[in-house]
Structure 1
Amino acid sequence: MQSLEINAAIQVAKPRQEVFQAIIDPKKMSGYFISNGSATMEAGKEVTWQFPEFPDRFTVKVLKIVPDELVSFEWEGAKDHHLTVNIALTERPGNATLIKISEGKMDNNEAGIKWLKGNTEGWANFLACLKAYLEYNINLRTGGFDYLKKEG
């Protein structure tokens, strides 16, 4: 049975260093993705992320950081499954950056397909929000997922 893996990519019209900082710095990341994070991502550290739509906090174990090139971490990407996420940054012409994200792997079964659908949507959203934030200083998430909030 073939394993499932998420892959998503986008090009941003900003230099790699700026993109890298927007990914590892929770203050910057709160401008487009999370509501807050506990610390800057550094290899060997655990940080927590909170999203505006959910009361839960998500623990992220940072595996590897290569400045301006790679952010690798592990998180519970699916219930009871700790998965590795790699965010690779490649310099492109015109001072642009190609961002490639991979997450995985999971079995090709019902749980794996549910994860693949949900997290692929999530990473595509992350990339679109990152691009809007860096290029236009817009937070696309603001109000976008309020429908997911639990009614009091």
Structure 2
Amino acid sequence: MELNMRLESNAAIQIQKPIEDVFEGIVNPEKMTKYFISESSGRLESGKEVIWKFPEFEDKFPVKEIKIENNSSISFVWDLETVVIITLEKLPDDSTIVRVNENGKELNEDNLSWALENSGGWANFLACMKAYLEYGIQLRKGAFEFMRKR
């Protein structure tokens, strides 16, 4: 019997903001550019495709197959081998748990490295989002300048 194992990258955080604010912080490019991306061609909406640019990279990244469930989940494809699923859970104290799962790559040495890097990347995304949504702090600003191609 051959196992067809798929890798996953996971991260989660609790944000002390209502679920509606957190959801808007993810789908609205004006907010996302404060903590994650430098540019977006538009708002994340079901069935739409947008292009993201990051401040430290020259490349632009198409975000496809977007599926939105208002105040509940956001999913998209930006790597043809994986799907990103962001889920939101409202807590009784009006805070929100945000979980990110990116999955689909086959288990091999290169993809194992990918899973470890992306888990850290999504944890960084969540920490930056928390800092911005709760305190207006832009943690990502200047954080990855060393990664720019010279």
Assess same fold via TM > 0.5: yes
Q: What are structure 1's unaligned runs of at least 5 residues? A: none
Per the normalisation by structure 1, the TM-score is 0.93
Distance in 1 of aligned mates of 2:43 and 2:36: 14
Partner of residue 74, structure 2:
71
| 1:82-122 per-position Cα deviation (integer Å, ceiling 9, x unaligned) | 31100000001211000011101212211211210121111
Runs ≥4 residues deviating over 6 A = none
8 Å Cα contact 2:9-2:119 kept in structure 1? yes
**AA at the equivalent of 1:59:** P
**AA at the equivalent of 1:110:** E
**AA at the equivalent of 2:45:** E
Partner of residue 25, structure 1:
28
Distance in 2 of aligned mates of 1:45 and 1:86: 16
- The percentage of aligned residue pairs carrying the same residue is 47
8 Å Cα contact 2:28-2:43 kept in structure 1? yes
Residue aligned with 1:105, SS: strand
Partner of residue 108, structure 1:
107
Which stretch of structure 1 is more off in the superposition, 59-68 or 138-147? 59-68
What does residue range 132-147 of structure 1 map to in structure 2 within 5 Å? 132-147=131-146
Distance in 2 of aligned mates of 1:110 and 1:41: 33
8 Å Cα contact 2:72-2:87 kept in structure 1? yes
8 Å Cα contact 1:41-1:62 kept in structure 2? no
Q: What are structure 2's unaligned runs of at least 5 residues? A: none
